[in-house]
Amino acid sequence: MQNWNLYSRGDKLFVRINAVLIGLFALSTLYPFIYIASVSFSSAFAARAGKVVLTPIDVTLSAYAHVLSEPQFWNSYGNTFIYTIGGTLTSLLIIIPGAYALSRPQLIGRRFWNLMIAFTMWFHAGMIPFWLNMRDLGLLDSMIGIIIAFACNAFNIILLRNFFESIPQSFEEAARMDGANEFQVLWKVFVPLSKPAIATITLFCVVARWNGFFWAMILLTDEGKVPLQVYLRQTIADLSDDEEFSSTLIDAAYSVETVTAAIIVCSIIPVLCFYPFIQKYFNKGIMLGGVKE
Amino acid sequence: MSGVLLQNIVKAYGAAQVVHGINLTVQEKEFVVLVGPSGCGKSTTLRMIAGLEEITEGQLSIYGKVVNRIAPKDRDVAMVFQNYALYPHLNVADNMAFGLRIRKMPKPEIKQQIKNVAEILELTDYLERRPADLSGGQRQRVAMGRAIVRHPKVFLFDEPLSNLDAKLRTQMRAEIRRLHNRLGVTSIYVTHDQVEAMTLADRIVVMNDGRIEQVGTPMELFMNPANIFVAGFLGSPPMNQMPGTVTEKGVEIDGIIIAVSGNLSAQVGRKVIVGIRPEHVSLQKEKGTTALPINLDLVEPLGSEALLHAQFGAHQLVFKTETQGSIDHLSDVSEVYVHASMVKLFDAETGEALPL
Amino acid sequence: MSNNDTVYINQKSFKEKLVWLLDHFKREWQIYVMLAPMIIWFLVFLYKPMYGLQIAFKDYSIFRGIEASPWVGLEHFNDLFSNSQFLRAIKNTFLISFYSLIFGFPVPILLALMFNEIINAVFKRSAQTIVYLPHFISTVIIAGIVITAFSPSAGIVNTVLSWFGLDSVYFLTKAEWFRPIFIGSGIWQEAGFSSIIFLAAIAGVNPSLYESAVVDGASRWQMMWKITLPSILPTIIIMLIIRIGNLMEVGFELIILLYQPATYETADVINTYIYRQGLQSGQYDLAAAAGFFNAVVAFVLVMAANSISKRFSRTSLW
């Protein structure tokens, strides 16, 4: 907008106060992360006594040593990667061709198919019938079940379909006249042209998979199959149960608090690594699906 | 053998018919331009030839082969789109190679083809660039290059110049025509711009409302429009039109009789529309001309020519005349002269040209 | 190739239709191959459970299965509506939603307005990066952070209270503290990210409006309230309608992680009730009935919201 030097004194003051307020908000958003990280590096005693405020007290890596020596931690961490990568790939494999087909004007029953998908955003059978269905399908306690059963959601499909529809028809026509079949049109023209939209739904899938815990908790009974979030939940449950017996662990180098904090940190790190790459896409992506003219 | 043959081609969307049974023969190596106002069915017709729209009824043949139910890729036609449809993720060379790769042409051959075409179109220095880094004219050339590399039997152009500014459009227009002269491929070109139609075409097809109004060479259409629509559509500014009545000596408009060449005796008393092109009047009295008394109200200099806006009775007319370096002498013009052979008569009801 | 295809069929005889259809599939079979996996997925994982929803009206037992279980009409619904726990869950669902709306909805709008006034691009981008981050964090981690921070002995909140000489409070066992904590953590997690949509709306405001305001001598403060806010009002109203349409969707996953019997009074919502009755106690039919009720109310709300927003803005949400 305007040049800073042309701002009135009142405006300069306003802009500065505003910047300070935003800075404070950002810091308060960040604070819980810093706090948790500090707890994870603090001694059990300091954490237990509530001494950690901003920086670690009596810095120690014993919580991490404990977490990283748990085979179950590594196992669930690995499972999370399997669910995230496998689930996201499955999603893309179903959603990309499906959304493309839905965006084609020549598809017979196009309105019907679109409605069938959109309807699931407005009405769902709910937890119990879904669970019973999973049981009937024999997908309880199954890694494949987790990967397949959460592969699609209407929002991502509609988002991508809208993007495909916004690509000028002449691209498809040109490719067709060049001799491409539908698979080639999709793979060689539409997919490269839709990178922002595909990146966005990939992001949504990855985040949902990485963070997903509820159904994994419900559907998986075998400890060897659970993802990190379920493992973390178990630890947290211990944490809240443990309040009454807070003295039991007081002598150990690590406590439930520091261990939980350490697992949280380990679980956030991949998100933080992934985060910068996706950031440029999500501004666009949110708008893509959201409100359609 | 004809290049492209349209027999009774009909296009309907449900109950709405948009192309009402058109017949057209495009000769081999001919450059035919379909022109008409938007919504006249010219683009739909082109897209039916391309295979992008189904043909509701009628028969379409390309080089003697009926192609109604043949997929676009197997029709051996190539198309240049209005928005070029260049793949933004591919560079110029890959854009041109796209169709050849899909057709599994061997790599060295593709390379050779692209090299040749790039030379023809002066794109050799731009082969590595993405479309976004090209100017409008260069994109236009790439779009043509993509069509040319495939050596199709027929080129289809769908308003390819409409996204360019006026200057580039003139330049590219000439380039397209030169290219056609050089390659000699049967071409069908759709535009709403009558200047493009006039300058490019071997023959022009004027379409209106899903029908063909007239087919002919540019000069035929200009000099002898078959009806009021063609007369009004071609030419800039458009032909002046006034209602009149045929008499023994000529045509009468508001009490003034204008001489018309041809035999009028069979038409006496008929209500007509009198058409006079702005270019077809002179300021000097000559043999065979009729004087039109006018009230000049505006002179618009265009450089070598000027437009005269004038009242003729109750009619607002426009004339075009040469300036000879100055427009001073035009300000007191009170009469213009029109030669009998330049007065066109159209039936007042049907709009068809009168056979004289 | 537009929507002519279907209309075109209607005009033809049956045989011609068939020929046309065969021709169509021969030409276009590929898009149906692309569509099929997705449709099958929807049928198997979302529509088949809808068929299973009939157990809400049946005396369901795992051994008899869905079809063989006898119908009981509205018995489960009668039970539910005479059950004080379920009524409490309905009340809590609406209250938590309502408070989240009141306290949570204005925050992202305010944030967007404020972000718009930031001049330093680097500062703006870094601040945005930070406030978007919690959106990408798992519910379990949020719960972990909340539990750690509000812990009676170790938590930072009680540490701060002790600085002021206040007694430590075991917040998570106090019913009156549940909603503020839950709604607060919701705002912390989502306010930043939700501001994106308003920022996008602000980006769409015609810059010449600001330029003419500058020429007219308006201050930044005035421009924010007189130009930016009115310009994004349609977006605000649409988002508000969507929020109201989604009233039934309370983040029950976080509730499951945070609540305990001591806080059921204020924390137990319909979905957590379903979870306990159905998945923990095995009363599938009763829980399915509660789910059915929940889904129907949600459906009506969403449909109403959609049609209102359509009328309001002529912009359909989907």
Q: Give residue A247's pLDDT.
A: 47
- Same domain as A138, residue A200: yes
Mean pLDDT (whole number) for B185-200: 94
What is the number of H-type helices and E-type strands within chain A? 15, 0
Candidates C2, C4, C19: best to mutate against B (most CBs of B within 10 A) is C4
Q: Give residue A158's pLDDT.
A: 92
Indicate yes or no: CB of B73 within 8 angstroms of CB of A177: yes
How far apart are alpha carbons C95 and C88 in whole angstroms? Answer: 10
Residue B314 lies in a domain: yes
- Same domain as C95, residue C62: no
Residue B249: pLDDT band (50, 70, 90) is: confident
What's the CATH number where C205 sits?
Answer: 1.10.3720.10
Q: Is the pLDDT of residue C129 over 70?
A: yes
Residue B288 lies in a domain: yes
- Same domain as C228, residue C89: yes
Q: Domain of A180?
A: 74-219
Candidates B13, B67, B75, B83: best to mutate against A (most CBs of A within 10 A) is B83
Q: Give residue A174's pLDDT.
A: 92
Residue A282 lies in a domain: no
C133-158 CB burial, b ≥16 within 10 A, e <16 = bbebbbbbbbbbbbbbbbbbbbbbbb
Residue in chain A lying closest to C5 (CA): A106
- Greatest extent of chain C over all pairs of C-alpha atoms, in Å: 89
Bridge partners for C241 per DSSP: none
Q: In what order do the strands lie in the sheet with B16-27?
A: B16-27, B2-13, B57-62, B65-66
Q: Which residues of A touch C155 (CB under 8 A)?
A: 50
Structural domain tally of chain A? 2
B258 three-state secondary structure = strand
Q: What is the mean pLDDT of chain C?
A: 89
In terms of C-beta density within 10 A (0-12 exposed, 13-18 middle, 19 or more buried), how is residue C215 classed? exposed
Q: Is the pLDDT of residue A257 over 70?
A: yes
A275 and chain B in contact, CB less than 8 A = no
Candidates C3, C7, C31: best to mutate against A (most CBs of A within 10 A) is C31
Strands B315-322 and B186-191: unpaired
Residue B295 lies in a domain: yes
Indicate yes or no: CB of B54 within 8 angstroms of CB of C27: no
Residue C140 lies in a domain: yes
Q: Which of residues 214-243 of C touch A (CB under 8 A)?
A: 214, 219-221, 235, 238
Rounded to 5 degrees, φ, ψ at B302 are -115, 5
How far apart are alpha carbons B159 and B172 in whole angstroms? Answer: 12
- Same domain as C211, residue C120: yes
Candidates A39, A232, A291: best to mutate against C (most CBs of C within 10 A) is A291
| A197-222 pLDDT, tens digit each | 898 899 889 989 998 999 999 999 99
Return the axis-axis angle of helices B107-120 and B136-148, rounded to nearest 10°. 130
In terms of C-beta density within 10 A (0-12 exposed, 13-18 middle, 19 or more buried), how is residue B148 classed? buried
Which chains does A contact via 3+ CB–CB distances below 8 A?
B, C
| B275-328 pLDDT, tens digit each | 999 999 999 888 889 999 999 999 999 999 999 999 998 999 999 998 888 888
| B72-127 pLDDT, tens digit each | 989 999 999 999 999 999 999 999 999 999 999 999 999 999 999 999 999 999 99
Indicate yes or no: CB of A108 within 8 angstroms of CB of C2: no
Residue A285 lies in a domain: no
A126 vs C318, residue with greater confidence: A126
Q: Give residue A240's pLDDT.
A: 61
- Same domain as B127, residue B226: yes
Q: Give residue C3's pLDDT.
A: 42
- Same domain as A46, residue A78: no
- Same domain as A238, residue A194: no
- Same domain as B172, residue B226: yes
* Cβ-contact A281, A203 below 8 angstroms: yes
Q: Is the pLDDT of residue B54 over 50?
A: yes
Chain B residues with a Cβ under 8 Å from any Cβ in chain C: 12-15, 52-54, 56, 69, 71
Q: Which residues of B touch A192 (CB under 8 A)?
A: 87, 89-90
Residue in chain B lying closest to C10 (CA): B14
Quote the minimal CA–CA distance from A117 to chain B in Å: 27
B322 three-state secondary structure = strand
Cα dihedral sign, C248-C251-C257-C258 = negative
Residue B102 lies in a domain: yes
- Same domain as B194, residue B96: yes
Which chains does C contact via 3+ CB–CB distances below 8 A?
A, B
Q: Give residue A281's pLDDT.
A: 67
Q: Is the pLDDT of residue C6 over 70?
A: no
How far apart are alpha carbons C71 and C81 in whole angstroms? Answer: 19
Q: Is the pLDDT of residue C22 over 70?
A: yes
Residue C266: pLDDT band (50, 70, 90) is: very high
Residue B208 lies in a domain: yes
| A41-54 pLDDT, tens digit each | 998 888 888 888 88
Mean pLDDT (whole number) for A78-86: 96
How far apart are alpha carbons B151 and B157 in whole angstroms? Answer: 15
Structural domain tally of chain C? 2
A96 vs C165, residue with greater confidence: A96
Closest to A100 measured CA to CA, from A172, A153, A155? A172
- Same domain as C59, residue C102: no
Cα C2 to chain centroid distance, Å, stands at 35
Which chains does B contact via 3+ CB–CB distances below 8 A?
A, C
- Same domain as C148, residue C47: no
Q: Is the pLDDT of residue C2 over 50?
A: no
How far apart are alpha carbons A27 and A24 in whole angstroms? Answer: 5
Residue A293: pLDDT band (50, 70, 90) is: very low
| C194-244 pLDDT, tens digit each | 998 899 889 888 989 998 998 888 898 999 999 999 999 888 988 888 888
Residue B47 lies in a domain: no
Q: Is the pLDDT of residue A289 over 50?
A: no
Closest to B188 measured CA to CA, from B27, B335, B296, B352? B27
Residue B84 lies in a domain: yes
| C148-204 pLDDT, tens digit each | 899 887 789 999 998 998 888 889 899 999 999 999 999 999 999 899 889 988 988
- Same domain as C107, residue C175: yes
Q: Which residues of C touch A250 (CB under 8 A)?
A: none
Q: Domain of B331?
A: 237-347
How far apart are alpha carbons B209 and B57 in whole angstroms? Answer: 17
Quote the minimal CA–CA distance from C36 to chain B in Å: 24
| C110-119 pLDDT, tens digit each | 999 999 999 8
Q: Which residues of B touch A186 (CB under 8 A)?
A: none
How far apart are alpha carbons B216 and B206 in whole angstroms? Answer: 9
Indicate yes or no: CB of A176 within 8 angstroms of CB of B72: yes
Amino acid at B11: K
A198 and chain B in contact, CB less than 8 A = no
Mean pLDDT (whole number) for A81-95: 97
Q: Give residue B100's pLDDT.
A: 93
As given in the structure block, the two tokens for residue C56 are 């809400």
Residue C4: pLDDT band (50, 70, 90) is: very low
Mean pLDDT (whole number) for B239-248: 93
- Same domain as C260, residue C184: yes
* Cβ-contact C316, C310 below 8 angstroms: yes
Residue B12: pLDDT band (50, 70, 90) is: very high
A234 CB-near residues (< 8 Å, 6+ apart): none
Residue C309: pLDDT band (50, 70, 90) is: confident
Share of chain A above pLDDT 70, in %: 90
Residue C204 lies in a domain: yes
How far apart are alpha carbons A71 and A244 in whole angstroms? Answer: 28
Q: A73-77, A196-200, B125-129: which range is least confident on average? A: A196-200
Q: Domain of C187?
A: 82-313
Of B204, B231, B258, the domain-final residue: B231
- Same domain as A186, residue A52: no
Chain B residues with a Cβ under 8 Å from any Cβ in chain A: 50-52, 71-73, 77-79, 81-83, 85, 87-90, 98-99, 102-103, 146, 150
ipTM of the complex: 0.89
Residue in chain A lying closest to C143 (CA): A236
- Same domain as B272, residue B210: no
Q: Is the pLDDT of residue C12 over 70?
A: no
How far apart are alpha carbons C183 and C204 in whole angstroms? Answer: 31
Residue A189: pLDDT band (50, 70, 90) is: very high
CB pairs under 8 A between B and C: 21
- Same domain as C148, residue C37: no
Indicate yes or no: CB of A122 within 8 angstroms of CB of C299: yes
Bridge partners for B206 per DSSP: B35, B214
Mean pLDDT (whole number) for C42-52: 95
- Same domain as C303, residue C198: yes
Mean pLDDT (whole number) for A277-283: 67
Please tell me the number of Cα atoms within 13 Å of B308 on its side-chain side: 28
Q: Is the pLDDT of residue C5 over 60?
A: no
A68 vs C315, residue with greater confidence: A68
Q: Is the pLDDT of residue A162 over 50?
A: yes
Residue A251: pLDDT band (50, 70, 90) is: low
What would the DSSP string read from start to end of B174-200?
HHHHHHHHHH--EEEEEES-HHHHHHH
Residue C11: pLDDT band (50, 70, 90) is: low
Q: Which residues of B touch A188 (CB under 8 A)?
A: 98, 102
What would the DSSP string read from start to end of chain C?
--THHHHHHHTS-HHHHHHHHHHHHHHHHHHHHHHHHHHHHHIIIIIHHHHHGGGGGB---TTTHHHHSPB-TTHHHHHHHT-HHHHHHHHHHHHHHHHIIIIISHHHHHHHHHHHT---HHHHHHHHHHHHGGGGS-HHHHHHHHHHHT-TTT-HHHHHHHHTTPPP--GGG-HHHHHHHHHHHHHHHHHHHHHHHHHHHHHTS-HHHHHHHHHTT--HHHHIIIIIHHHHHHHHHHHHHHHHHTTT---HHHHHHH--GGGHHHH--HHHHHIIIIIIT--HHHHHHHHHHHHHHHHHHHHHHHHHHHHHHS----
Of B185, B202, B231, the domain-final residue: B231
